Amino acid sequence: MRPEILLASVAVDFGETEWFTESWERVVRSMTLGKAGDVGHGRSPGAALAWREAKPVPAGRSVQMRRTPVRMQEDGSTTILAGRLYRTDELATRFGLPSSTDPADIYARVHARYGDACDTIIVGDYAALQWFPQTRTLRLARSPTSSMPLHVWREGERLVVSSLPGPILASGVPSRINDDHLADTLLLNTLDGVSSWYAGMHRVPSGTCEIHDPSGIRRRRFWSIGEVPEVRFATDSEYVEALDDLFEEAVRETMHGASTPAILLSGGFDSQAVASYAVGNLGDGTPLRSFTSIPMAGHITPDRPHVFGDESDHVRALCAMYPRIEPHFVDAADYTYGERQARHLLVGGWPALNESNVHWVHAAMERASGLGCDVLLTGNYGNAGFSYDGLTGYPDWLRSGQWARLLREIGKSPDERPFWRKLLSMAVMPHVPLAWRRRIDRHRRWRASPFTDWCSMREHYARQSGALARADAIGADIDFYDVRSSAEWRRSVAESLASLTPEIDLGFRLLYGLPSRDPTAYPPLLAFCAGVPDEQYLRDGQSRWLARRLLKGRVPDMVWQEERAGAQSLDWPVRFSRDRERLLGDLTAMKDDPRLADVFDLDRMIATLAEWDGTDHPASRSGTRINSGIGRGMAMARFVSFVEGRNVG
């Protein structure tokens, strides 16, 4: 069996010139950045292909670039599979293959029998590239919730596809920012998995198959979290039993092959659940090393009754319950804002939107890698799945005529407002069109404009660039109103994660040589949770009812009974106060660049940071204005400068 593949690239000529010959060495060399394995490359009629092994080369040895014969299937096609397949033994048995069969060959065999329906049969976390020279067809596919991205550039008969943008740029494509994507992202309109940061490129969304041939492009979505089958059982307990079985399977499959696992562990439901199942899948004597963000010295916890920022007590309680968890607490006190951003961009070419919240991820991954960990578990998709709070049940029960259930749950809600106010706010208002809700709230002081609060973009640019019109056209809610259904909520969470995180995570992996895997993104588990009815998530006024029943006895009582939300990086006032003068200098320098000054409201950002009193009082909205607005704005401005070679900030 061949080693796992991390990165893949292919250049295709649908004509007769093989235009890529001159630039192909640069493409291959661009794939050697960061901590991963050797790069193999070869030719097939009409195409050049390259792949990089996932396992990092031994310390002290440089990455090798080896030209090798391209492996072909019986029909002459070539398949490269970046990522991993799950249930491979089951697939091999079903299709009469040895258990040692390479995952790419398994994928090719299933595709040969079932065609484009193969991705509904195969379970994995992958990106597949298949070149069929006889028909001059390139087929691309990404699994549901795939963490393996695919970027595409096509101009007439010339085509380049790669896991990251760098190899496409190395082929000679100009490095320019896609201004629409920049404006949409600054407005947090991030559900589009096709749009790219780079002008002229696009991405293949997760759960999608895309086919290129001389006639053009065809794209088909084969999976969406909003279109999964309903799950219905006769009793409440059956939902918990089925969830328990699927969670165990998800953790077992995502941990397969790991010998020294670690986990990003918080005090919340998602990572605590993953940790509790992971302990049961450890080898003899193997610890599960956990890494938890804690506030740095000098942090003063703001008065927010629904949020807690130091999750160490919840983590210690879990460690007491499972002694094989070895806790490590990370304050990343010596990391300044954006300190690792340039390195991250160099290997990944993609920005972290919340740059002010990634310092502890850098610190945790660096420490885990130094301790020899070979997998880092996460629980990022939990809120879209098993730990969903169920609060969209109110408008959905109103819409579907389940009025007795609606009135009972409104009455049992812990919300202290009068019954009629709760009914209007929680069940009726989510159905009111966005434009009407904005008119209603126009003069309410607590409903701040994005352009005086969390958005660093100039309002004039948001209108001129069409960002506001695009958001309105697709119903993107930049005011964060309550949504009408669980399907809508899950779509917003899952598709935003699928759009924002794969390239960022791949950049982290190349920086530290450590893969992250998310059992809560396991497609069968996520599909099951999305098919479960709202009344399993909200019952008798208790939110997250399904998750609480699953976790009772599995995690500490203080965790599964917790009503507050855990939050990382609540020590941001200490960090921004420390870095303020340097950040003000960077923002002032950006004003001299007309390109940046046209997009970003630099005067407002400078005034906000300069006049800030250094605290995090909820009434001042400093958290959204500085931590979100300035934190995101500076990261995006620096990224624009990185891509376009602008020497500012």
| Alpha-carbon dihedral angle through residues 582, 587, 591, 597, given to the nearest 10 degrees | 160
Q: What is the pLDDT of residue 480?
A: 87
Residues in Cβ contact with 249 at an 8 Å cutoff, skipping those fewer than 6 apart: 522, 524, 525
Structure confidence by residue, pLDDT tens digits, 82-111: 999 999 999 999 999 998 999 999 999 999
Structure confidence by residue, pLDDT tens digits, 127-155: 999 999 999 999 999 999 999 999 999 99
Average pLDDT, the chain: 95
**CATH for 236-386+495-566, options being 3.10.450.50, 3.40.50.980, 3.40.980.10, 3.40.50.620:** 3.40.50.620
The pair phi, psi for residue 119, each rounded to 5°, is -75, -15
Structure confidence by residue, pLDDT tens digits, 548-607: 999 999 999 999 999 988 888 889 999 999 999 999 999 999 999 999 999 999 999 999
Percent of the chain with pLDDT over 70: 99
Q: What is the pLDDT of residue 306?
A: 83
| Position 166 confidence tier, pLDDT thresholds 50, 70, 90 | very high
CATH number of the 5-223 domain = 3.60.20.10
| Position 647 confidence tier, pLDDT thresholds 50, 70, 90 | low
Residue with tokens 């595409």: 152
Structure-model confidence comparison of residues 241 and 439, the more confident one:
241
Residues in Cβ contact with 520 at an 8 Å cutoff, skipping those fewer than 6 apart: 250, 270, 273, 274, 378, 379, 380, 381, 382, 385, 386, 526
Q: What is the pLDDT of residue 646?
A: 63
Q: What is the DSSP string of 79-125?
A: EEEEEEESSHHHHHHHTT--TT--HHHHHHHHHHHHGGGGGGT--EE
Structure confidence by residue, pLDDT tens digits, 265-279: 999 999 999 999 999
Q: How many CB atoms lie within 10 A of CB 65?
A: 16
Structure-block tokens of residue 112: 């040969």
Structure confidence by residue, pLDDT tens digits, 476-532: 888 888 999 999 999 999 999 999 999 999 999 999 999 999 999 999 999 999 999
Q: Which of 365, 484, 370 is nearest to 431 (CA)?
A: 484
Q: What is the pLDDT of residue 446?
A: 66
CA distance 279 to 286: 9
CA distance 596 to 588: 11
Average pLDDT over residues 288-308: 86
Q: What is the pLDDT of residue 2?
A: 78
Q: Is the pLDDT of residue 649 over 50?
A: no
Structure confidence by residue, pLDDT tens digits, 445-487: 667 789 999 999 999 999 999 999 999 998 888 888 899 999 9
Cβ–Cβ under 8 Å, residues 132 and 75: yes
| Position 444 confidence tier, pLDDT thresholds 50, 70, 90 | confident
Average pLDDT over residues 347-366: 95
Structure confidence by residue, pLDDT tens digits, 193-226: 999 999 999 999 999 999 999 999 999 999 999 9
